[in-house]
Amino acid sequence: EVQLLESGGGLIQPGGSLRLSCAASGFTFSSYAMSWVRQAPGKGLQWVSVISYSGESAYYADSVKGRFTISRDNSKNTLYLQMNSLRAEDTAIYYCAKGGLIVTHFDLWGRGTLVTVSS
Amino acid sequence: QSALTQPASVSGSPGQSITISCTGTSSDVGSYNVVSWYQQHPGKAPKLMIYEGSKRPSGVSNRFSGSKSGNTASLTISGLQAEDEADYYCCSYTGSSSHWVFGGGTKLTVL
């Protein structure tokens, strides 16, 4: 079955760090760019970051640049998002999505993992 | 990079057609023919409905269609069904450091 499954979310204090993971299955993970998209409670979607199929190129939204790092392990079919210096405004459901860069749309989404930044 | 502009809500009766607009700028919607549309039911992940402006992924009903004129893209749903009630988001590549920008979302109510 083609799917993406995120994990690693939770409650974290402001200034803290968290690493999200996204396990891919059912498609050739190493052939596709992958992205993270987030959704604050009751709000719309916001693109966060994208990484090329090889992992050589990565890009970030201005709001997370310098604090978040996207990476991937193609041998494990897994995408990561390292989040540092977390702020209350980072509170959101984080979705892993297939696509980005050359494929300028997101054709497969995971169920998401909730990150809550609060003291 | 500002979000693309969508109406907050639209509604229609079963069998009718509705159109959701998505207005951007010459830097995003107007420059690239890569607008995509996503359907999101409450508590669920988004689902791709339209990509590259007017293409439908396999498995998406042909009741869904997309178009673009200038800086505005549109999603039309014909033959409205109760299951179409959801939030809809447009998205465009921007070519800038922001890369991708989404619309604020439109809540579709099927009366």
Q: List the one residue out of B44, B53, B88, B102 whose CA is nearest residue B73.
A: B53
* The two three-digit tokens of residue A54, written as one number: 């090889």
Residue in B60, B66, B64 with CA at minimum distance from that of residue B36: B66
**Number of CB pairs < 8 Å for A and B?**
64
Contact (CB<8Å) B45/A61: no
Among the partner residues B93, B97, B102, nearest to A46 by beta-carbon distance: B102
Write out chain B's pLDDT in tens, 111 residues.
Answer: 578 999 999 999 999 999 999 999 988 899 888 999 999 999 999 999 999 999 999 999 999 999 999 999 999 999 999 999 999 999 999 877 668 999 999 999 999
- From start to end of chain B, where are the E strands? 9-12, 18-23, 36-40, 47-50, 64-69, 72-77, 86-93, 100-102, 106-110
Q: B87 to chain A nearest CA, in Å?
A: 9
